[in-house]
Each structure stands twice: as C-alpha cells, then as structure tokens.
Amino acid sequence: MPRIIVLPHSEICPEGAVIDDAEAGNSICEELLKHGIEIEHACEMSCACTTCHVVVREGFNSLPPSDELEDDLLDRAWGLEACSRLSCQAVIGQDDLTVEIPRYTINHARENH
C-alpha cells in the first residue's frame, strides 16, 4: 500500500501526518478525509472548485495526468505551483506521496458567511 506523508498545516494538520495504508485507486482527498485530515472540499469532490488544492512535493509523476477541467480550475487556485493538483482528482497509484496543503484556499461560500 502506498504511503501519504502530509506536511504540517497550521490549522488542518499542525503536526503533519503519515498515512501508511492509503488505498491505491482512491483520490488523495478521499484518503485524507478517511484518516481524519479535514481538507476542504466545498464541491463535494466533483471538480467544481479549488478548495482541495494540494501541492504534491514527492510522487507527482506517479499520478495520472490532470484533465483540462482540473487544469482550468487550478489556474484559479491560491499558491499554484507546477506540482499542484486538486486532491479530489489526483488518484493514488502504487508510489508514496508527500503532499502539502496550501496555507490558504479560495472558498467563496465560506467567505460570504
């Protein structure tokens, strides 16, 4: 089973985390949520927002390529990097991953309340 190392995030995962039993075929978002890491996912993982944006620090090339819709959404994400993905669309393979949850996210629904 692949491992996901989550780098520390001041609010969501202050100590960082290691998921030793990530299930290949699931998205990064699904695995984070399954292991108690409450990453935002305002569109309920339907590839309609950028709140689950992550930066894949290690293992990026092991992920299936992003499609045009994901790329268009990522262009709007805060802190976009060359190895950015929407965690709801990034399907885990057999390789280990190291991910960083950006400090900020763009969540219009939350910002307006």
The amino acid that residue 3 corresponds to is: R
Cα 74 to Cα 35, 54, 94: the distances in Å are 25, 10, 24
Quote the pTM value: 0.92
Q: Which domain holds residue 29?
A: 4-111
Q: How far apart are CA 87 and CA 111, in angstroms?
A: 21
End-to-end CA distance of the chain: 40
**pLDDT of 55-81, one tens digit each?**
999 999 999 999 999 999 999 998 999
* pLDDT averaged per 10 residues in sequence order, the chain, 113 residues: 96 96 98 96 94 97 97 93 97 98 69 40
- What CATH number should be reported for the domain holding residue 43? 3.10.20.30
For residues 61 and 101, give the distance between their C-alpha atoms in angstroms, rounded to a whole number.
Answer: 18
Query: Could you give the number of structural domains in the chain?
Result: 1
